[in-house]
Chain A
């Protein structure tokens, strides 16, 4: 009788351990896989990962919470922050007055680097990363549409992660 009880206990513990390992592997796979990946893809990723996966800053609970509330690039125009794009002069760029700028963003000269600075005088729009809906935290990935003409036809120039890029995306118009 005691042996039977002991066996049930060991089996239960083993099952619990296996379930924990399985759940953990699935949640790590979920953290790595595209957000709308089907369960079969997650299972494949967890069982036969093509590369090593890790979520170094999360425990099982945090993984579970972030699975329910994923991070998104959440903020977009017309949410305005009163920030303006400010160019940073770069000596590798052609001189323009007292500063040096590369509005065309070439490989050799690099791009004009921009940073967002709060001025409160203009209502330029910004993008931000965060966890919706309550905790929308603005980070350095602040983006503003840039008022610099793009050299490529049918493209717009945007400020993106500190760089000026040409893109063919249909961006929302910059508010006046």
Chain B
């Protein structure tokens, strides 16, 4: 059964790959990879453009991160092998301008079952040839989300194992690993540093760089912070008004955000889930939110049908979705 499934998947991938040169389709087939500890998590990087897939691994011959480019190029990154660790838990990956990646991870130096396990909280950078270039031990910080600007400077959003509070949740590192700026103090939030990891409704907090602006989404408070890449705070926008309007328009009890991306007009495109008041099955929609945090329009009306997974926006603001091919392959149609 598995052989049949695998054959079908391969056939489908061949069908998909054949026209990829014309249609700018990025394909990633996980079945060809050495098994890791878990599934790959795909993220879209509009620079390239490329699909970056990451996972946790505990084998030196298993790549933790894979890049798939529109021209069919693939690049693999092996941090467990490169650093002599027993395993890596990848928390976030961001593409860098040279075609490489920055990885926020916890490295473990003993078998997972043998506690206590010595661990290191690190940010790694690889260049566009797959060579490890930087290893920064960022303890006591534990980055949850990364973004890399056009100069190769790395922004990390996370929390820290610090007794002295408040402390900054957002750190800017130079391309050499120096602490170049600390922003977004935890005392901006009533829950302090817990806002980074305590939310069941809107997924995880994350950061994006778009048009030389750094957007920081704090899922717990439903707020979007806008900074210049120099660290100047430009705006703090609550998306709660938009969520309330969406709930009213669709007679929903509540609305959750699954994925969001800033567009060129500094608005937000988000995939949301709507929970009807009458207890009927939830719906999914793609929505445009204005820069001031108010609802602007439905890009895709709420629908109970099984939705596509929204990955992000192209450089000209077209939404991108993950398409499924078999059980272990995905593609993103960049389109022309």
Using a CB–CB distance below 8 Å, which chain A residues touch chain B? 28, 31-37, 50-58, 66, 70-76, 86, 88-92, 94-95, 98-100, 105-111, 113, 115, 117, 127, 129-132, 135, 137, 139-141, 160-167, 169-172
B120 adjacent to A71 (CB under 8 Å)? yes
B144's contact among A115, A117, A140, by CB below 8 Å, is which? A140
* Bound Cα distance A71, B135 (Å): 17
Whether, in the assembled complex, B328 has its beta carbon less than 8 Å from a beta carbon of chain A, the answer is: yes
Query: A52's contact among B56, B115, B135, B307, by CB below 8 Å, is which?
Result: B135
Provided the pairs A34-B109, A88-B203, A166-B38 are in contact, do residues A55 and B116 lie with their beta carbons within 8 angstroms? no
Q: Could you list 7 further interchain pairs (A-B, Cβ under 8 angstroms) beyond the known A99-B282, A140-B144? A: A53-B177, A72-B115, A91-B282, A106-B39, A129-B142, A131-B161, A162-B204
CB of B112 within 8 A of CB of A108, answer: no
Minimum CB–CB distance from A135 to chain B (whole Å) comes to 7
Give the interface of B toward A (CB within 8 A). 28, 30, 37-42, 53, 56, 83-85, 89, 91, 106, 108-109, 111-113, 115-122, 132-142, 144, 159, 161, 163, 171, 173, 176-179, 196-200, 203-204, 256, 258, 271, 273, 275, 279, 281-282, 284, 306-309, 322, 324-330
Residues in A with CB closer than 8 Å to B140 are 57
Provide the bound-state CA to CA distance between A165 and B89, in Å: 11
Q: How far is the CA of A53 from the CA of B122 in the complex (A)?
A: 11
Contact A57 B179, beta carbon cutoff 8 Å: yes
Q: Is the CB of A107 within 8 A of B279?
A: no
Please, which residue of chain B has its CB at the minimum distance from the CB of A167? Answer: B37
CA distance A141 to B88 in the complex (A): 13
**Contact, CB under 8 Å: A140 / B282:** no
CB distance from A170 to the nearest CB of B (A): 6
Chain A residues contacting B111 (CB-CB under 8 Å) are: 169
- C-alpha spacing A88/B204, complex, angstroms: 11
Query: Chain A residues near B28 (CB, 8 Å)?
Result: 107
Determine whether the beta carbon of B307 is less than 8 Å from that of A56: no
- CA distance in complex: A170, B173 (Å): 39
Please name all residues of chain A whose beta carbon is closer than 8 Å to the beta carbon of B171 when the two chains form the complex: 56
Q: Are B132 and A50 in contact (CB under 8 A)?
A: yes
A57 close to B135 (CB less than 8 A): no
B120 touches A56 (CB 8 A): no
CB-defined A-B contacts under 8 Å, sample of 20: A31-B137, A32-B120, A32-B137, A34-B109, A52-B176, A54-B136, A54-B177, A66-B139, A70-B118, A74-B116, A105-B38, A107-B39, A108-B330, A113-B203, A115-B197, A115-B200, A161-B56, A163-B38, A166-B38, A167-B38
Contact call A32/B135, Cβ cutoff below 8 A: yes
Cβ-defined partner of A108 (8 Å) among B179, B198, B324: B324
Given A115-B200, A160-B56: A89 in contact with B273 (beta carbons within 8 A): yes
- Interchain CA distance A170-B307 in the complex, whole Å: 37
Given A99-B282, A105-B38, A137-B161, also A91-B307 (CB < 8 A): yes
